[in-house]
Structure 1
Amino acid sequence: MPQFTGLPTGLKIGKRLRYRVSPVAPKMRGRTPRWLWVGAGCGALLALTALSAALAWTNIFDSALASQLALTPTSRSYRDWVEPTVPLNFDIYFFNWTNSEEFPDEKPVLQQLGPYRFREKRKHVNVTWHEHNGTVAYKTQRSWFFDEQNSNGTLQDNITTLNVIAASAVYRSRYWGFLQQKGLSMGLSMFNQKIAVSKLAKELLFEGYADPLLDLAKSLPPSTTGGAPPVDRFGWFYERNNSLETDGYMEVSTGQLAGTLPGQILRWNYEDHLPYYEGECSKLSGSAGEFMPRNLTEDSVLTMFVPDLCRTVNMDYVDSGEIDGLMYHKYAVSQRSFDNSTLSPSNTCFCNGECAWSGVMNVSACRFNSPAFLSLPHFLHGDPQLREAVEGMEPNPEEHSFYFAVEPKLGVPLDVSARFQLNIYMEPSPNVALYQNVPRMLFPIFWVEQKVKIDDNVIAELRYVRAIFDWGGTVCACAALVFAILVTIATCCARKPQYIKSELLASFEKPKDEAELKLNPI
């Protein structure tokens, strides 16, 4: 009988010891799930897309902005452009001549009156689209309504000013012969013309006043009157209220063609150049006023076409600031803009004869050869001799500058003050008694101001758009980084072997009964 030597190694007595635990090699779970690879691929694609958007964000934004600003019959910019809803005020300041009876023995003493404020309503009419060259043609209708409540004065104010009708007649006669000039002198005396006239404010503005010289001019040949159309009354804005001819025919770019901006002047009064000037001065260029160039810098020059000035004006950078959290660059008409070629030789072709003083523009050529000169109010940035010829000029850059404050990236005007002063040129005329002893000077008549400041709702919208531009690239870069991290994690999980612990496998082995243990003790 065999001798019992003990239990086999690894076995224990009792029902609890029915399992045999032995070292088992770890086993692989299986292949990586397909969804993990699909997710990693999508994440990689999103990361690449976000990175590309971050690198090209400026171009993407510019393209989207250009499409929104382009003038089309259905665009938002067209709705805001065709009939602006921004409140417009048109202020007029007259210079009252207080010592006209002592002229020319005493230099003129001028007293500023006003402002006479008018609310302006503006809309573009006769809009015609030219899709073949990406332009739109139109005329502008302006309507003015006197705002007595916000005016400093009434339209019944009596104002003494220079007799512009007589001054224009003498100016046009400067190249006439002796007999013609003597005839004019006799006519001025016969019609009892004086150096100065006193009229009501409403007569000097929109209502106009009658004058016998106007009736005489109707019978004269156009060469004598400078081609001016015959009128029965004279007023600085006579027949301009509700007229379509105030700014004339305009044709501007729509911005739909690649590389073009909306609102850039291409034709004015059916001409593609300025017929009053020669050389560089005859070129028609710049913004027509509603749309500004984008991506402006401190080195940029803002080029504007101003119909009232009959020319293009270059505005220089002067300052930067902030309006309700929105940054702007300010561009203003400077001394160089109105220079008589002393500082800017390129301005020589604007002179058209008389160009003795800096800081003024000779616009007589586009005013039917009348002696009209434009400057900034109170001769700001003008030749000191202009202010010395009269009393009452007090130039102040804060009150008399002509500027545009523009959001530089978007090219949207935030604050605009358009100001200029009308002056009449006069000089002695030996053969015309009324003007024999007058000094050579520019006589200030009035100055106008049109201020426009964007409202709070538009400011808030522009801040939102600017935030998209400033932070859009950063957001896309962060999104690319997040997607890249997720892809990295997913890739690592996909490559790591998945093992099953030996103890866990052992727990799932089929238990052996006592009979099997006896047959297979080990």
Structure 2
Amino acid sequence: MVYKLPICFLSVGIVGCCCGLFLVPYIFHVVLKDIVTKIMVISPSSQIYDAWKNADVPIVENFYFFEVLNPEDALNGLKPQLKERGPYAYRITMPKVNISFFENKTVSFQNRYTYTFDESLSAGPENDTFMMINIPVATMVTMLEDLPRFIKASMSLTLKELGEEMFVEMSPKKLMWGYEDALFKFIRSITGDLFIPSDIFGLFIGRNNTGVGMFNIETGERNKSEVNNINTWKYMKELPWWLGYAKMINGTDGFMYHSFLSKDETLYLFNADLCRSVSYKYKRDTQLSGVPLWLFALDHFTYANSTIYPPNAEFCSENCPPSGTFPVAKCRDNSPISISNPHFLDGTEQLQNSVGGLHPNEKYHLNFLSLENIMGMPFELAIRIQLNIQTIKSSSIKQTGNIQTLQFPILWFEEIVTVDNDTVKQYNDGIGLALTCSNVVKYVMTGISALLVMIAVIIFTRKERLTKKMKAETKSVQTTEKTPLLN
């Protein structure tokens, strides 16, 4: 009976510590996972449906153009010197239209992109002008490279008559949304619509108020881990331009991933501008307005050629551009356009030094997703892409002069998505509050239980000392009593 109370304290304390450290977090995880996985499905009845349908988070797309500072020197074979101009910012809305749900738990839709120029976020008006490379001319020169000399000489005379040069004054508005091009007009006067459908040239022509094709994705009702995964794009299960694994359409559109992510996972995102899927790996922990996030960055080998990363031979196996650039001619009407990270980030030193004025920096040029791992939702996203065009010196086309053969940067753009304060508040009032409550219960229970264990140990220690003291006193008395009372 002497040790009944401390034994009780010790037992309750040990059980309480185990519950606080292991059982409470486990029960919380099971309950939270059940709730979140039910919420994070794409269905008209789900809590995320309106956000998925309307994409009502603020989206800004910034465009940075490369001004050519020394066009005459570049035509004489010297290194082109570039200056970044921008940003020229557009606010984007991209609601989903033509939504159809199917019995196999998939849904089809199109995104309708609308671009609205925002001068308050821009370095200047859309009609700013500066010297840039003439993309139609550079494209034509490259496409004529393997044709007979007399054809190229004829084109040189035509370009002279049309007043076309290798470099031209251009504005962001014209380059993006279109302008009447004399070369295109001339070619169409001969071939009609056979090769060129319009006299108008623009990098984003036809993009405003339209989409990039029909998607079919998993709703997550059949398999929670596949929510938002893309099944088909433009009714294609595979991409026809590439070989092997490169043909696969992997991942999501970036709106959401499955809940309860792991840092060891590779996340895939399909990007229609790249005509391919790309992969992201965990890089570091970060946060936004106090919300803990995991930053996943674009794999460094994404734009490497096959000499550096052999599997990329499935995208290009011969006549490939320098490592650090990805050729998209096959899915862009054979236009000699390549894709890269801004300022050739992750490219070779030779590529980065091929033109002047580039300053690759992860802080400004990294392509990344910052996700809240429980929901699998990006709270911050920066998709950054640079467009380059191949330049070739042609002895038969005088407009090229002695220009170097290189991947010439045109512009780079970034799609920036950052959730608003309402989304942060919803997180804090929901998952954030639940995590806080779980931690409070965990630490309070563990603390009280640990205190009971300490009290039990103290009682045991004191009783043990008292017992030893009593034994010592008893032994002393017994020793004294053995002494004779009379001599």
Correspondent of 2:56 among 69, 85, 92: 85
Query: 1:109 matched to which residue of 2?
Result: 81
- State the 4+ residue runs in structure 1 displaced beyond 6 angstroms: 51-54, 220-224, 476-479
TM-score norm. by structure 2 comes to 0.80
Asked whether 1:465 is paired with 2:431, we answer: yes
Give CA-to-partner distance per residue, 1:147-174, whole Å, 9 cap, x none.
1122111122112111100111122223
Letter in 1 for 2:132: T
What are the residue-to-residue correspondences of 1:203-352 with 2, within 5 Å? 203-206=174-177, 208-218=178-188, 225=195, 230-244=197-211, 247-351=212-316
Q: 1:235 to 1:382 in 2, by over 3 A?
A: same
2:170 aligned counterpart, secondary structure: strand
Give CA-to-partner distance per residue, 1:67-117, whole Å, 9 cap, x none.
211111232212101112211111111111121122232221111111111
Correspondent of 2:139 among 163, 168, 187: 168
Q: 1:189 to 1:56 in 2, by over 3 A?
A: same
Give CA-to-partner distance per residue, 1:243-296, whole Å, 9 cap, x none.
23xx22211111111344321111111111111101110011111111123333
Quick check: 2:324–2:351 contact (8 Å CA) kept in 1? Answer: no
Q: 1:222 to 1:349 in 2, by over 3 A?
A: farther
What are the residue-to-residue correspondences of 1:116-515 with 2, within 5 Å? 116-131=88-103, 133-206=104-177, 208-218=178-188, 225=195, 230-244=197-211, 247-351=212-316, 353-435=318-400, 437-463=402-428, 464-468=430-434
- CA-CA distance at 1:54 after TM superposition: 7.2
- CA-CA distance at 1:445 after TM superposition: 0.8
**Between 367-376 and 96-105, the greater mean CA deviation after superposition:** 96-105
Quick check: 2:37–2:224 contact (8 Å CA) kept in 1? Answer: no
Q: Distance in 2 between matches of 1:147 and 1:216?
A: 35
Unaligned runs of 5+ in 2: 1-21, 446-487
Q: Distance in 2 between matches of 1:101 and 1:55?
A: 69
Quick check: 2:224–2:258 contact (8 Å CA) kept in 1? Answer: no
Letter in 1 for 2:279: N
Aligned residues: 424
TM-score norm. by structure 1 comes to 0.75
Q: 1:134 to 1:176 in 2, by over 3 A?
A: farther
1:107 aligned counterpart, secondary structure: coil
For the aligned residue pairs, the C-alpha RMSD in angstroms reads: 2.8
- CA-CA distance at 1:62 after TM superposition: 2.5
- CA-CA distance at 1:476 after TM superposition: 10
Larger Rg: 1
Q: Distance in 2 between matches of 1:96 and 1:66?
A: 49
Give CA-to-partner distance per residue, 1:441-500, whole Å, 9 cap, x none.
111111112212112232232233145367659969999xxxxxxxxxxxxxxxxxxxxx
User: In percent, how many aligned pairs have the same letter?
Assistant: 29
Q: Distance in 1 between matches of 2:192 and 2:319?
A: 22
Asked whether 1:71 is paired with 2:42, we answer: yes
Q: Distance in 2 between matches of 1:293 and 1:360?
A: 31
Q: Distance in 1 between matches of 2:239 and 2:198?
A: 25
Q: Distance in 1 between matches of 2:216 and 2:24?
A: 37
Query: 2:485 matched to which residue of 1?
Result: none
**Between 374-383 and 192-201, the greater mean CA deviation after superposition:** 192-201
Letter in 1 for 2:99: V
Quick check: 1:352–1:362 contact (8 Å CA) kept in 2? Answer: no
Quick check: 2:225–2:258 contact (8 Å CA) kept in 1? Answer: no
Q: Distance in 1 between matches of 2:32 and 2:309?
A: 37
Q: Distance in 2 between matches of 1:137 and 1:473?
A: 41
- CA-CA distance at 1:199 after TM superposition: 2.1
